[in-house]
Amino acid sequence: MAVGIFDSGLGGLTVSDAVAKRLPDVPLVYLGDSANAPYGVRTPDDIYDLTTKATQRLFDAGCDLVILACNTASAAALRRMQEGWVPKDKRVLGVFVPLIEALTERQWGDNSPPREVDVKHVALFATPATVSSRAFQRELAFRAIGVDVEAQACGGVVDAIEDGDMILAEALVKSHVDALKRKMPKPDAAVLGCTHYPLMADAFQTALGPDVKLFSQAELVAESLADYLTRRPEMVGPGKEGGFLTTGDPEQVSSRATQFLRRQITFDAA
């Protein structure tokens, strides 16, 4: 009854942790492709190839449903995977859906025409690959009108977090927020469009100011997954064991993951 969670590195642990708290009886198999991280500077074809390989590994581990807890993979690979790669008895879901549901206050299955929503000026902080894909803006446009989105590619933040250099990560966050404010001085809301970024939520909020509503993904994805499995219980796979897998060095990744979540995390080789 396992569910797979994939990320290019450690960022998806924020989603995995939230899902584990929301669905404590569901074994989770987490796979981080740390050997090839970060994805945010790779080409769409590279991202697709790496994501399908990792997803297949999770299918092999008994997961019929895999969450791409990676905005870059969700933006650059998910649609292509769903259109021509995912087997009929499997499902691969991304992390944009719950975020846009929350932002537009409408369910994903609501196919009514786009309408005005409360937020008008949205700051999107994401990796370069996610920003260049414009996937967030495309999905948002299907559901909302009159929303101005200003995207800021946050180069270096993921690397700093993966390296455990939070001082550098905080400095980079401030720099990227300052750059965005030069283009959009007063955003109503800000989207943390990378699953690494919740670890820097306080830094983003401080730099943006208290009046900007921050949308982060971990809890939103967990709640959306719980709802999905209520409607589609057959998508909980046959796997019985959870665990953490990495394409990188298990000892090194385990040490960083333990720092990440402030509890002992032990990774095995994927």
What order do you get walking across the sheet with 213-215 strand by strand? 148-153, 121-126, 189-193, 213-215
By annotation, the residues acting in catalysis are 70, 194
CATH class of 97-215: alpha beta
Rg of the Cα atoms in the chain = 18
Question: In sequence order, which residues have a C-beta less than 8 Å from that of residue 149 and are 6 or more positions away?
Answer: 122, 123, 124, 136, 137, 140
Write the secondary structure of the chain as one string of H (helix), E (strand) and C (coil). Answer: CEEEEEECCCCCHHHHHHHHHHCCCCCEEEEECHHHCCCCCCCHHHHHHHHHHHHHHHHHCCEEEEEECCHHHHHHCHHHHHHHCCCCCCEEECCHHHHHHHHHCCCCCCCCCCEECCCCEEEEEECHHHHHHCHHHHHHHCCEECCEEEEEECCCHHHHHHCCCHHHHHHHHHHHHHHHHHHCCCCCEEEEECCCHHHHHHHHHHHHCCCCEEECCHHHHHHHHHHHHHHCHHHCCCCCCCEEEECCCHHHHHHHHHHHHCCCCCCEEC
Residue 108, pLDDT score: 55
Spatial distance between the Cα atoms of 32 and 6, rounded to a whole number of angstroms: 6
Q: Hey, how many other C-beta atoms are within 10 angstroms of the C-beta on 17?
A: 21
Per-residue pLDDT tens over the stretch 60-79 = 999 999 999 999 999 999 99
Q: Do the domains spanning 2-95+218-269 and 97-215 agree at the CATH topology level?
A: yes
The reported pLDDT for the residue numbered 38 is 87
Q: What is the pLDDT along the chain (270 residues), one digit of tens a residue?
A: 689 999 999 999 999 999 999 999 999 999 999 999 889 889 999 999 999 999 999 999 999 999 999 999 999 999 999 999 999 999 999 998 888 888 888 765 666 788 888 899 999 999 998 999 998 998 898 889 999 999 999 999 988 988 889 999 999 999 999 999 999 999 999 999 988 898 899 999 999 999 999 998 888 999 989 988 988 888 887 888 899 999 999 999 999 899 888 899 999 999
Q: For the chain, which residues make up each domain, given as ranges?
A: 2-95+218-269, 97-215
C-alpha dist (Å) from residue 94 to 15, 40, 69, 78, 189: 12, 16, 7, 7, 21
Distance of CA 100 to CAs 9, 122, 195, Å?
23, 12, 15
* The pLDDT value given to residue 122: 96
| pLDDT for position 265 | 95
Residues 208, 174, 121: CA angle, nearest 5 degrees: 35
Fold of 2-95+218-269: Rossmann fold (3.40.50)
Q: What CA–CA distance (Å, rounded) separates 160 from 169?
A: 5
User: Which one, of 27, 24, 31, 29, lies nearest residue 1 by Cα?
Assistant: 27
Residue 16 backbone phi and psi in degrees, to 5:
-55, -45
Q: What per-residue confidence (pLDDT) applies to 234? A: 85
CA-closest candidate to residue 198, choices 229, 226, 157? 157
pLDDT value at residue 209:
97
